[in-house]
A and B are shown apart, each in its own frame.
Chain A
């Protein structure tokens, strides 16, 4: 049984997860596990690998991110992701929307 608080958490996270991933990739290109560890540094972003990889695949299909393989020495090749121009535009739009939404909610809560 999922508590209602948990459900709320899931929905909330879905909306913010994509933006968080884009924000992280805006700093530097990263491979999946790296991205996962960065996300796990935040209390509300602890997603599983089973959620992250299909999501990255969708972002790539939507042309928001680009990917390329890198092989260093005898290490296994890793698939890196970086923001595309579409992704950068999308991140800016999401960020504006987010800030607007936060300030709206804040003023509602303050009443």
Chain B
């Protein structure tokens, strides 16, 4: 029982990694590829158990790493020509840049999204104490954690909650999509 759990865990992580590397392929096609490979893995384990007692590792090994397998598919899809040898250093630099870009997007997008969500929660927990006000003469915006004496009209009052929450979720979602796309380079 425990062995089967470990086996399924291994297969599951292989497949989700494969799907990640297939993020450049359209989603429906990628899911179909993953479904076919999954069916192949379990079929192999059933068939092999009568014959050569192949372990999960052996079956997965014959497929190659998720990255190798995905590139086999992607190669067919965008039949690209390998960059000439002189461009190799260039490719290395872009790869390096994409890597830092990936982490930048991850950290920036993540923290920005979470800030928005935290704002919504703060407004929800302590409505009078937290908000965005416009000063009376309309020449400054005050974001405050306590009641302050300068403000007269609060914008956007309780609407701050859904607006922040939605913005936060949208930013987090976009960050997730972007990092998925960039994951190929990391």
A residues whose Cβ falls under 8 Å from a Cβ of B: 31-33, 48-51, 53-55, 57-58, 61, 76-79
Query: Given A76-B39, A76-B43, A79-B36, are A50 and B62 also a contact pair (CB < 8 Å)?
Result: yes
Q: Which of B35, B39, B42, B69 contacts A50 (CB 8 A)?
A: B69
Neighbouring A residues of B40 by C-beta, 8 Å: 32-33, 49, 53
Q: Count residues on chain B whose CB falls below 8 Å from chain A CBs.
A: 22
Structural contact, B62 and A53, CB atoms closer than 8 A: no
Neighbouring A residues of B37 by C-beta, 8 Å: 53
Query: Given A50-B68, A77-B35, are A33 and B44 also a contact pair (CB < 8 Å)?
Result: yes
Interface flags for B22-52 (1: CB within 8 Å of A; 0: not) read 0000000000110111111011100100000
B residues whose Cβ falls under 8 Å from a Cβ of A: 32-33, 35-40, 42-44, 47, 62-64, 68-69, 72-73, 75-77
CB distance from B52 to the nearest CB of A (A): 12
Structural contact, A50 and B63, CB atoms closer than 8 A: yes
Scoring B73, B75, B76 by chain A CB atoms within 10 A of each residue's CB, the highest score goes to B76
Structural contact, A49 and B63, CB atoms closer than 8 A: yes
Q: Which of A50, A57, A76, A78 contacts B76 (CB 8 A)?
A: A57
Structural contact, B72 and A61, CB atoms closer than 8 A: no
Neighbouring B residues of A61 by C-beta, 8 Å: 76-77
Structural contact, A79 and B76, CB atoms closer than 8 A: no
Query: What is the CA–CA distance of A78 and B69 in the complex, to the nearest angstrom?
Result: 19
Query: What is the CA–CA distance of A31 and B35 in the complex, to the nearest angstrom?
Result: 13
Query: What is the CA–CA distance of A31 and B62 in the complex, to the nearest angstrom?
Result: 17
Q: Which residue from chain B places its CB closest to the CB of A59 in the assembled complex?
A: B76
CB distance from B72 to the nearest CB of A (A): 3
Neighbouring B residues of A51 by C-beta, 8 Å: 72
Structural contact, B39 and A54, CB atoms closer than 8 A: no
